[in-house]
Structure 1
Amino acid sequence: MGFALTILVGTALLMLPNSRVGPGAASFLEALFTATSAVCVTGLTVVDTAVYWTPFGQVVILLLIQIGGFGIMSFASVVGLAIARKLSLRSRITAAAETKSVGLEDVKGLVLGVVRISLAIEITVAVLLALRFMLGYGEPVGRAIWLGVFHSVSSFNNAGFALFSDNLMGFATDAWICVPISAAIILGGLGFPVIVQLRRQLRTRPFSWSIRTWTMNTRIVLAGTIVLLTLGTAYITVVEWSNPNTLGPFDWAGKLLAGFFQAVQTRTAGFNSIDIGQMDSASLLGMDVLMLIGGGPAGTAGGIKITTFAVLFFILWTELRGEVAVNVFGKRLSRAVHREAITIVLLAVGVIISATAALMLLTDISMDALLFEAISAFATVGLSTGITAGLPWGGQVILILLMFIGRLGPITIGSAMALRERHTTYELPKERPIIG
């Protein structure tokens, strides 16, 4: 309800006449789609953000991205702290649920730590980008600062909104633009629990870090991020190396930078430095997988999350080896985690397949493009082959629902819609069907 209300407020603000360039106001669907994409930190658009929205409209989008990326309940908790200087039990419970906190005693410190980390990263990246826009491209000081702030917030929150009509294609080989944005995306995609733990260790033991003291969540997220970024960069760069419409015109350094940048975007940020619509179908399929996996939990990233994918991988590895318990980094996984991971993946696949089938019935667009769009919306990525604006209103409504479900998570939506929670006091006899 909090996310839905924020989206409706953003829609109303974007429908104001002073939010749109030119006479009249934005249509309800245009405003709703943009507000949903901003609050759900997706980045899919049906209009050109750079020329369609006025500075006021762009500020509204920026605020929606910040609130949506930080989390509605966490944002409400910060407001409550600012006003009342304390958190009620209800606020602590809701903030703990959203930030995936284990206990209630440290919620206040965790929420405030998240605010400090977010602002520190966003300010640092904003300064770097503003200096580059001002010194490297001759932008006026005010314009350079605005570009730096907007793209910094958009990148750390994994939103993918850009203030250029071609997104970031004009900066494909500019490391001073692509690297800070990529760094912000990676940090935002790690998830706040990982960032907070690393920050605490840096403050308490800056010269004596020990991986053994990290939680299983931190180890899985960091290892998974490194592996997926490496494989994604290699895969995209190799497949697109000779494509004259993407990486072909660049030198080897530019190809590596652009390949890395696009691999980073599959962490659920929707920037693009090359034309996604001109990429090879094999690249799109590989990006489908990376987008579906997403980033770390309890952060600004979407997808089923690295931890969910890792749990499924270790379950598979354990079954193939004939072992009983699933062990990860010297610890045993709870069977409840097995069921949760399987549930999330099956729900996600079911939602994506259903949405893709519905889009295929509404349009004549190829399945690979529609599947890419559906996964991008559900995983709150924002990458597009360029078909979003051309979809019929029914198709755009489907993408709106996908973004909303993907941001909150299928289990959250399913639990909210459940009529009641059942508690059984008995167990039925066991019987085993033939598997495989």
Structure 2
Amino acid sequence: MRAQGLQARAPHRAMSWYGRVRDAIDGLARSSPARFAILVFTALILLFTLLFSLPISSATRTVTNLHDALFTAVSVICVTGLSTVDMATHWSGFGNSLVFIGVNIGGIGVLTLASILGMAISRRLGLRARLMAASDTNPSRIHVGPVNEGQAVRLGEVGNLLLTVIVSALAIEAIVAAMLFPRMLIDGVALGDALWHSVYYSAMAFTNTGFNPNAQGLTPFENDYWFLGALMIGVFLGSLGFPVIYAFARGWRNPRRWSVHVKLTLLTTLLLMVAGMVLYIILEFDNPETFGDLDASDTVFQSLFLSVMTRSGGFSTIDVSELHGSSLLVSDMLMFIGGGSASTGGGIKVTTLAVLFLAAFAEARGKVSMEAFGRRIPRDILRLAVSVVLWGATTVAVASILILQITHAPLDHVLFDVISAFATCGLSTGLTQDLPPSGVIIMAATMFMGRVGTVTLAAALAASTSRQLFKRPEERPIVG
């Protein structure tokens, strides 16, 4: 009987310890799921900073400077692609493995990552975890109160969404790697390097990071359309967002059943790709440092590649600093817009831009509400879109002023790199690698703000939303 009692109490002690850990984490996430997600993200950055600073992580077996280790950790977890060290030569095999693992973790998303951790701890997907994952597919769910618009992913489908996140990420990266591997063998790359580089490139493409394992960058493959096309496919799919991929998985043959979010994301993404390509052709066809020496077909392809990559991909076959000032400004706009919501891309998101244009069209036509694809979009989504753009522009402006004061570099180069950091794009004019430690910290903070998301950050700062039961007298200020 005593032995049976000990056996009965032992599982109780184990469950009690496990329960205390679970309750502590649950209590931490109780006030705001967004705050918990940001805390998880910050903890990951600190952990990877420590790991990157270890001698085993560098190729020379020396300790990496703290600011360089921190910047690399933020860039990896935020899937940005900017670096203050040579990513192809500075890190050892262990360090490159950290980069590979980190970008896949970061690509999942802040709130989705927190939800998956909650599943691992509680061994079930509870209501709070469902709310956290649903808010990653639609940031307006973070706020207290009802959400009026139809959701891209309904709350009851979040479990399937999380499974789709993991499966789609692995499947797309595997397909892109399978496309790259034989091509690298044909180009004479050694078997071991071809296998590792194909997997590495595929992860960097799907997560829209843009790190390169080659010291020469994409120079060996700058005329290889198959190789560059595979990278574009990975970047494009990663930038669409998991809700769009989930919609494809459920019914790609029936576009009529797609939600407004899916349709707006696809339409705006394709329009931006084509518009960017056309503008680069017009602005760079006579630039001998970029596309001036190419024939018509090469110019079209390279312009399309640059248009796709400036919206978050981070890969480049040209020296970005050699672009005309007009092309740099176009790139700034494309980077600032970024990819789709709940995607591995950054920026203010394409649906934010679409909502702003829909509001402008509705105002011009004298309509009270915004409409798209036979559906009405509520005005609170417009307020959310304006807030995202305003906070993003403020972040870019403050960071640009600080970097300008520190470096006294040209404005177009500073603005390009700052927007690239905020939009987690990864393209650079070369400014970032030459930044002093103070500038490195500012750029790291800009990357963090861009990846965590202005909506998530704003929701995290406000623990609750008070409900106002009265309305004040209305008065209209003069606008415009």
Task: Compute the TM-score of the two structures, normalised by the length of structure 2.
Answer: 0.86
From 149, 154, 158, the counterpart of 1:107: 158
SS where residue 105 of structure 1 aligns?
Answer: helix
From 356, 361, 368, the counterpart of 1:317: 361
Give 1:225 deviation, angstroms.
Answer: 1.0
Give 1:353 deviation, angstroms.
Answer: 0.9
Task: Decide whether aligned partners of structure 1 residues 165 and 237 sit closer, same or farther in structure 2, where only a CA change above 3 A counts.
Answer: farther
Counterpart AA for 1:116: V
Please give the alpha-carbon distance, in whole angstroms, between the structure 1 residues aligned to 2:255 and 2:250.
13
Counterpart AA for 1:5: A
Deviations 1:66-104 (A, max 9, x none): 000012443454466568653233332322222336443
Aligned to 1:199: 249
Alignment of 1:39-188 (within 5 A): 39-75=77-113, 77-78=115-116, 86-100=124-138, 102-135=153-186, 137-188=187-238
Give 1:355 deviation, angstroms.
Answer: 1.1
Give 1:187 deviation, angstroms.
Answer: 0.6
Question: Bigger shift: 385-394 or 316-325?
Answer: 316-325
Please give the alpha-carbon distance, in whole angstroms, between the structure 2 residues aligned to 1:178 and 1:410.
32
From 342, 346, 351, the counterpart of 1:302: 346
Question: Bigger shift: 71-80 or 259-268?
Answer: 71-80
Aligned to 1:262: 306
Is it true that 1:339 corresponds to 2:389 in the alignment? no
Alignment of 1:245-260 (within 5 A): 245-260=289-304
Task: Compute the TM-score of the two structures, normalised by the length of structure 1.
Answer: 0.94
Provide the alpha-carbon RMSD of the alignment.
Answer: 1.7
Please give the alpha-carbon distance, in whole angstroms, between the structure 2 residues aligned to 1:156 and 1:17.
29
Is it true that 1:415 corresponds to 2:459 in the alignment? yes
SS where residue 432 of structure 2 aligns?
Answer: coil
Task: Decide whether aligned partners of structure 1 residues 84 and 424 sit closer, same or farther in structure 2, where only a CA change above 3 A counts.
Answer: closer
Please give the alpha-carbon distance, in whole angstroms, between the structure 1 residues aligned to 2:464 and 2:119.
33
Counterpart AA for 1:27: N
Counterpart AA for 2:349: K
Please give the alpha-carbon distance, in whole angstroms, between the structure 1 residues aligned to 2:112 and 2:381.
25
Please give the alpha-carbon distance, in whole angstroms, between the structure 2 residues aligned to 1:312 and 1:403.
24
Aligned to 1:37: 75
In the alignment, is the contact (CA less than 8 A) between 1:40 and 1:68 conserved in 2? yes
Give 1:250 deviation, angstroms.
Answer: 2.6
Give 1:419 deviation, angstroms.
Answer: 6.2
5+ residue gaps, structure 1: 203-208
From 358, 364, 373, the counterpart of 2:408: 364
Deviations 1:20-47 (A, max 9, x none): 1114111111111011001101100111
Give 1:211 deviation, angstroms.
Answer: 2.9
Please give the alpha-carbon distance, in whole angstroms, between the structure 2 residues aligned to 1:315 and 1:230.
23
Aligned to 1:427: 471
Task: Decide whether aligned partners of structure 1 residues 323 and 91 sit closer, same or farther in structure 2, where only a CA change above 3 A counts.
Answer: closer
Deviations 1:188-218 (A, max 9, x none): 101011111011114xxxxxx3432111001
Aligned residues: 429
Aligned to 1:21: 59
Please give the alpha-carbon distance, in whole angstroms, between the structure 1 residues aligned to 2:203 and 2:47.
20
Counterpart AA for 2:321: G
Please give the alpha-carbon distance, in whole angstroms, between the structure 1 residues aligned to 2:404 and 2:122.
51
Counterpart AA for 1:67: I
Counterpart AA for 1:180: A
Aligned to 2:144: none
Give 1:158 deviation, angstroms.
Answer: 0.5
Please give the alpha-carbon distance, in whole angstroms, between the structure 1 residues aligned to 2:91 and 2:121.
33
Counterpart AA for 1:389: Q
Aligned to 1:206: none
Counterpart AA for 1:128: M
Task: Decide whether aligned partners of structure 1 residues 316 and 373 sit closer, same or farther in structure 2, where only a CA change above 3 A counts.
Answer: same
Please give the alpha-carbon distance, in whole angstroms, between the structure 1 residues aligned to 2:386 and 2:120.
40
Question: Bigger shift: 351-360 or 72-81?
Answer: 72-81
Deviations 1:387-432 (A, max 9, x none): 1011121211111111111111112212222365332221100011
Please give the alpha-carbon distance, in whole angstroms, between the structure 1 residues aligned to 2:202 and 2:48.
20
Question: Bigger shift: 407-416 or 219-228?
Answer: 407-416
Please give the alpha-carbon distance, in whole angstroms, between the structure 2 residues aligned to 1:72 and 1:429.
40
SS where residue 332 of structure 1 aligns?
Answer: strand
In the alignment, is the contact (CA less than 8 A) between 2:57 and 2:94 conserved in 1? yes
